[in-house]
Chain A
């Protein structure tokens, strides 16, 4: 398998009156064709900024540090400008945001918004694009797609809106889909259905998926690999089974212990105290150290990345000692 997306040293900087902060600080990962990589982390870890950076949609104040690269099929998508950038967005790399209600234009019908993306990227007549939009809505599991085509977003339920967003994202058969918390606003059954739709595209036509989530439970059942993001850095990255079976970073262990379990006493659920600090006050050493239960002297220096096994990378002094 060749890497579809290869992100290296992604750094997002935001100049503030008190000094420039770097909320995404040297993030590197890759997604293969037909692979689902989950990017997990708490609020403020830099998940969404990472996604937006890949599409060059950062907020006006933020900018990419030089040296950041993201190769999509060998081409650096962070260096794209103008028409080449526009033609890549939606065609080769698509995104679904968390709040489908806000992502849809309230005064255009659902179908027209799907058709629009089809027309923007595929050489089709309006009638052909309409037919494709209807069939896409059907594929996304909307009942009576021809009827839903003419509905406005406010006439659809939350789950249906996310299906419409997915139809829009997949309209031009992209190679990579970024799903930024696509199911966080939905109830559990709809969550599973939406994830199954994405997974189906992954299996059948080799769609690469970057699934962003704060919910390890969502990730466990679907993702091939997991990258754990903390304070702008990936602290651990491993195949899903290995990450859940043998977490090497104290933060990952903390996240796993914080998941309530159906079996066993409730007392085994241990919430992690504290939250991700503000980017302006990140420690110079290990960024997790202030919250880490296993902190020791070496944590005052930023840990190097070590590899407990071939596909497993972790940024912690303890892991180095162990291997």
Chain B
């Protein structure tokens, strides 16, 4: 929204500040640190450099192929965060579009769209994704974003629909109609900005969901494909060495934990600030 209201909420809520700081730190690390670290795909010493514990030359140790864990962690952060952000924005945009149209049009349009949502919600999201991903075998990064985004808009559409139905009955919508605003204009100019609050919350929470989903898919070997690292695929790779070299799995695990914690902190705090109506 960019209104004084929103910036005031950020300033007055410490938990949002902490969450935003964490997110910015993770984002900055993913964006800039790869330039100062070795190639995350380089395998310098496959004989004596594998599964080295954290030390001076490798701050977070090396994995089973002698690759630097820190380098893979920050590079994987790029991939994981890009997927999370891309898929969350896509999902919320789709959900907002469907919700606005359904809530504003009402009647048969609304009934038809909502029955589609009901039907789609009956299929567990992970199962649906597994099917898509397994059918495509080697899925490109944008394909993964598309698949996760396209399966994540259902909840948002219900949320936005409910909010739109409430807004639709308000006097300012009638006033806009009385003064010659078209349906499209009312949807885009009058109603969309009014659901910005719930959408910010929905997007933030969706980012957390997608991070876990991507990690889960990659952990099952179906998400981001080797040799590109992502936080999920790093844990997948580290599976056999959990006991002998736990640091290889702990690093990406911690990153996922921090990332999801940060976005949920922001999302939940915003939600509470807005009155706790939008989960």
Contacts and interface: CB of A to CB of B under 8 A. Distances in A.
Interface of A: 55, 57, 86-91, 94-95, 97, 99, 102-108, 116-117, 120-121, 152, 165, 168-169, 171-172
Nearest to A120: B180
Given A97-B171, A116-B189, A152-B3, A105 B179 contact: no
7 contacts: A89-B180, A97-B178, A102-B171, A107-B3, A120-B179, A120-B185, A171-B179
A181 to B, nearest CB: 13
A236 B178 CA distance: 29
B179 A95 contact: yes
A294 B237 CA distance: 97
Interface of B: 1, 3, 170-172, 174-182, 185, 189-190, 193-194, 196
A105 B176 contact: yes
Give the 7 A-B CB pairs with smallest separation, nearest first.
A90-B180, A90-B179, A102-B171, A103-B175, A89-B180, A107-B193, A105-B172
A169 B181 CA distance: 12
Nearest to B170: A102
Contact of A168 (B170, B171, B179): B179
B181 A120 contact: yes
B179 A89 contact: yes
Given A57-B174, A97-B171, A107 B194 contact: yes
A97 B175 CA distance: 8
A172 B179 CA distance: 9
A148 to B, nearest CB: 16
Contacts of A88: 180
A89 B189 contact: no
Nearest to A180: B178
A106 B171 CA distance: 11
A168 B178 CA distance: 11
A117 B189 CA distance: 12
A323 B111 CA distance: 61
A91 B176 CA distance: 12
A149 B194 CA distance: 19
Nearest to B189: A116
Contacts of A108: 189-190, 193
Given A97-B175, A116-B189, A152-B3, A106 B194 contact: yes
B232 to A, nearest CB: 38
A270 to B, nearest CB: 35
Contacts of A169: 179
A116 B181 contact: yes
A105 B190 contact: yes
